[in-house]
Structure 1
Amino acid sequence: MFPARVLAGASLALVILALPGCSSPWACTDTTAARGDAGVRVQVEDTSGRPLGVTAEIVDWRLEPHPQVPSKGDQVHFRFRFDGADEGSGPAVDACAVDKERVAVGCHTVYSSDAFGPDGDLTGDDWLAVEHPEQVAGMLLIPNDQSYEGRTCEQDGKDGGGPHPPEPASMGDQL
């Protein structure tokens, strides 16, 4: 039989471990959202795959030299629109130039906060430098919101973890 003092100490230790806010490093878990289907027009989704009520769309694109660095040759100049986004703190999505097989030849994250316009119709434009502009057959958006930057378990074992957006798309990814 254990002495009463040992049992009381063990009970106190269990109570302390069970207190809210106390977490152990082995309880921290990171999850990564699955990459959504890319398209010219997408419903932006959070890390659990639920729509945010925001639509992102590639309005148009073309190959042309950037006016500030024309000596670098053609780049992809594209216009995008976010419908239903909050001007100050809206979502962000990856915009990718793709070849005819929908393989990314270059990607860049675009933020709704960088777009402007009346009545929630936020339109912006951007440039994307790609190694082989002649391969570009179109522009696609990936619907996952990339604006969330929560702490990972590696960064903060006590308060990190939880759902995170998928890794940003990069050259060579099949979309």
Structure 2
Amino acid sequence: MLPARVFAVAPLALLILALSGCSSLGCTDTTAERGEAGARVRVVDTDGQPLGVTAAVVDWRLEAHPQVPSEGDRIHFHFRFDGADEYSDPAVDTCAVDKERVALGCQTVYSSQAFGPADDPLTGDDWLAVEHPEQVAEVLLIPNDQSYNGRTCDVDIKDGGGMHPPEPPSRGDQL
């Protein structure tokens, strides 16, 4: 039989472990589900809640990049972030897709890249290199905010874990 002091101290020890980040539940990582891609999307956090920011592809075209014209045509696209401010820097994945919405090439763009002309400072542009640019039918954005991806359990067992953005799309993904 255990002394009464052991039973009195046990809840205190459990509380200390829980407050220090060590718990019997352990560290768990979860990944958010990828949202529906579109030419205009409402940016959402890892819980799927809107951030009050809209991202849109303003236009796109095939053309040679002026710094490397010998590499052939690339996708030159303009994008716009409405609702972002200087304290937030939401980011979305941008993909050139074919007519079946299969990704041909993707990259992440941040609202801070929107540095357009003085009459439209919310608009920016970037380039996507794809293997077969003639197959591009659309440029789409994925609404999941990619700007913050907290520490994982593998990296930090004490403070890691929680919900993380979905994996970035890659060539061949169906959007």
TM-score of the pair, normalised by structure 1: 0.91
The yes-or-no answer on 1:169 pairing with 2:169 is: yes
Q: Which amino acid aligns with 2:91?
A: A
Q: How big is the shift at 1:146?
A: 0.2
Q: How big is the shift at 1:21?
A: 2.8
Query: Aligned partners of 1:150, 1:130: CA distance in 2, in Å?
Result: 30
- For residues 58 and 25 of structure 1, do their structure 2 counterparts lie closer, same or farther at Cα, with a shift above 3 Å needed? farther
Alpha-carbon contact 1:87-1:120 (below 8 Å) kept: no
Gaps in structure 2 of 5+ consecutive residues: none
Three-state SS of the structure 1 residue aligned to 2:9 is helix
Report what 2:78 is aligned to.
Answer: 79
Pick which of 153-162 and 24-33 moved more: 24-33
* Structure 1 stretches of at least 4 aligned residues deviating more than 3 Å after TM superposition: 117-121
Report what 2:14 is aligned to.
Answer: 17
- For residues 25 and 104 of structure 1, do their structure 2 counterparts lie closer, same or farther at Cα, with a shift above 3 Å needed? farther
Three-state SS of the structure 2 residue aligned to 1:105 is strand
- For residues 12 and 138 of structure 1, do their structure 2 counterparts lie closer, same or farther at Cα, with a shift above 3 Å needed? same
* 1:122-141 equivalent positions in 2, closer than 5 A: 122-141=122-141
Report what 2:151 is aligned to.
Answer: 151
TM-score of the pair, normalised by structure 2: 0.91
Report what 2:46 is aligned to.
Answer: 47
- For residues 108 and 25 of structure 1, do their structure 2 counterparts lie closer, same or farther at Cα, with a shift above 3 Å needed? farther
Report what 1:34 is aligned to.
Answer: 33
Q: How big is the shift at 1:33?
A: 0.7
Query: In percent, how many aligned pairs have the same letter?
Result: 70
Cα deviation per residue 1:99-156 (whole Å; 9 max; x = unaligned)? 0000000001000011125699611000011111111111000000000120011111
Query: Aligned partners of 1:103, 1:79: CA distance in 2, in Å?
Result: 20
Query: Aligned partners of 2:120, 2:133: CA distance in 1, in Å?
Result: 32
Query: How many equivalent residue pairs?
Result: 172
Query: Aligned partners of 2:130, 2:8: CA distance in 1, in Å?
Result: 63
Report what 1:113 is aligned to.
Answer: 112
- The CA RMSD over aligned residues, in Å, is 1.9
- For residues 119 and 34 of structure 1, do their structure 2 counterparts lie closer, same or farther at Cα, with a shift above 3 Å needed? farther
